[in-house]
Amino acid sequence: MLLPKQLLHIPLWLLLLGALLLGLGLTARGYGQTVQQAGVVVVSGDGTVTTRCVSFTTETIRAIDLLRQSELALETQNDPGLGEFVCKIGQEGCPADNCACAYPPTYWRYWLKNADAQQWQFSGLGASSRTLRAGDVDGWVWSDTNVAPPVIAFADICPNAELPTATVAPAATPIGTPTATPTVAPAPRMDRAYLPLVVR
């Protein structure tokens, strides 16, 4: 059986628990909706440079998905063992049913530049295997030689991007521990004096 004093503590305890659970839910939902951005640089055979900034709400994105979301026309050929080959970007390249129409020596050469890198690095991976994070850039060059794309600052590709920084989840606002309010029982009324009765 609950005493009246214990009854007073249950609603406050439930409110604290509810507030905590609500705060955790809002925090998780807020983190899940963080918008990331990565860049794409495409160099066609005549040297024309096209850039795209792609937004995504996951922590990472596969390179092939980044290229698809760039809104550049894209044709690929899927190989079950090796993943997807990029055949055509925009108007440059080969149709998907003849992906190697210009190879050798010309094909889409794939370059990587992570957020902390200053220079391009030729990729040993295909676009199905690479994973990008916020601030990373992929480069595609239609060429017969390994000539890297021009180095373009990420801020010029994605001018409104905010690169990730270390963030700390907001701490819950501490709520004071409930304290019992002292109650004073009324003193018995003493408006009559009682004298002990002694019988002899």
Question: What pLDDT does residue 11 have?
Answer: 59
Q: CA neighbours within 13 Å on the CB side: how many for 88?
A: 14
Q: What is the distance in angstroms between the CA of the first residue and the CA of the last residue of the chain?
A: 50
Q: One-letter amino acid identity for 123?
A: S
Mean pLDDT for the stretch of residues 21-44: 71
Question: What pLDDT does residue 154 have?
Answer: 97
Question: Rounded to whole angstroms, what are the CA distances from 79 to 49, 102, 129, 185?
Answer: 28, 18, 13, 85
Handedness of CA 135, 141, 146, 147 (dihedral sign): negative
Could you give the domains of the chain? 36-149 (2.170.130.30)
- Please, what is the average pLDDT of the chain? 80
Q: Prior bond to 178 cis, omega within 30?
A: no
Instruction: Please write the tens of the pLDDT for every residue from 139-159.
Output: 999 999 999 999 999 999 999
Instruction: Please write the tens of the pLDDT for every residue from 65-116.
Output: 999 999 999 999 999 988 999 999 999 999 999 999 999 999 999 999 999 9
Question: What pLDDT does residue 6 have?
Answer: 53
Q: CA neighbours within 13 Å on the CB side: how many for 107?
A: 16
Question: What pLDDT does residue 161 have?
Answer: 78
Question: What pLDDT does residue 198 have?
Answer: 46
Whether the pLDDT of residue 169 is over 70: the answer is no
Whether the pLDDT of residue 181 is over 90: the answer is no
Confidence of residue 49 (pLDDT cuts 50, 70, 90): very high
Mean pLDDT for the stretch of residues 113-121: 97
Question: What pLDDT does residue 30 have?
Answer: 47
